[in-house]
């Protein structure tokens, strides 16, 4: 007689279940390919910039050896090389496949309740002056493209419901990469969550294939579908937006060429969303 192995099937979850089970402190991620909800900490992942990939691989190997059934590393990494990272191997991971990834629009999609004060960062005058300096440097041939970041600092007059805010992002951006990451530190007086919804995937690896989806150039959608089609065509034919996208695509291809044996780069951009 041959030995038999009994394997417990992985539970099948729906994206709506995972979104409903999210609580601040959990890790949540969803895209058109599926959703993931991670809870608890099996192990923290250390390592400085440049050594984090090795530290993550070692942490997952150790978790698998310890019996963790679905070892992954989740968290957030700062933009600057010297920024700290918040990476862990979670104790529990639940997934919803693309076939179960639909979330109904039962979540409220209006403005969050309460009153908000809004502060531009930087101030508008400072930002305008920065634009003028960037244009001058481009005109002088010193730079080809500049991305000037600006933001709005919003302060609510009441506590913010992170699960409600996350639900709005998922419902309003079903094809985006939506995330919620706990970034609380020992110095924080209260829990902190980093949440967002991005149409852009920086890089992903599936087996021996690496995929990048750089985006540049955008126009807002409106309720009128005929106007949306006009805007899509305007993006396709815009010399400015096509040039911006070419800069980004060339840079990404240049970086990936140092690590990949074969590259497939589209001849031109397309419009998504």
What count of other Cβ atoms lies within 10 Å of the Cβ of residue 204? 13
Place of tokens 């995937």: 201
Tokens of 164: 């409600």
Question: Quick one: CA torsion of 83, 85, 86, 92, rounded to 10 degrees?
Answer: 160
* 240 labelled catalytic: no
CA 137/CA 251 separation, integer angstroms? 20
Catalytic residue among 145, 227, 233, 240: 145
CA 33/CA 175 separation, integer angstroms? 9
Return the closest-CA partner of residue 18 out of 97, 90, 88. 97
**SS3 category, 113:** coil
Catalytic residue among 84, 129, 200, 233: 200
Instruction: Just list the catalytic residues.
Output: 145, 200
């Amino acid at each position: 007689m041959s030995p038999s192995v009994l394997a417990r099937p992985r539970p099948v979850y729906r994206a709506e279940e995972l979104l409903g089970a999210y609580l601040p402190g959990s890790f949540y991620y969803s895209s058109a390919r599926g959703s993931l909800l991670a809870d608890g900490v099996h192990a923290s992942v250390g390592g400085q910039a440049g050594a984090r990939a090795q530290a993550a691989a070692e942490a997952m190997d150790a978790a698998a050896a310890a019996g963790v059934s679905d070892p992954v590393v989740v968290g957030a990494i700062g933009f600057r090389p010297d920024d700290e990272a918040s990476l862990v191997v979670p104790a529990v991971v639940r997934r919803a496949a693309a076939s179960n990834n639909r979330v109904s629009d039962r979540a409220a999609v209006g403005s969050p309740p309460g009153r908000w004060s809004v502060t531009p960062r930087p101030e508008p005058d400072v930002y305008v002056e920065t634009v003028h300096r960037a244009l001058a440097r481009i005109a002088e041939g010193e730079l080809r493209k500049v991305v000037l970041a600006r933001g709005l600092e919003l302060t609510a007059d009441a506590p913010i419901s992170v699960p409600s805010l996350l639900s709005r992002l998922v419902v309003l951006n079903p094809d985006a990469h939506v995330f919620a990451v706990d970034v609380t530190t020992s110095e924080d007086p209260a829990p902190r969550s980093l949440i967002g919804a991005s149409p852009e995937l920086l890089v992903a690896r599936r087996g021996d294939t690496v995929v990048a989806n750089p985006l540049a150039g955008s126009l807002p959608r409106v309720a009128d579908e005929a106007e949306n089609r006009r805007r899509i065509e305007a993006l396709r034919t815009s010399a400015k937006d096509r040039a911006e996208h070419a800069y980004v695509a060339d840079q990404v291809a240049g970086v990936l060429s140092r690590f990949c044996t074969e590259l497939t780069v589209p001849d031109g951009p397309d419009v998504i969303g």
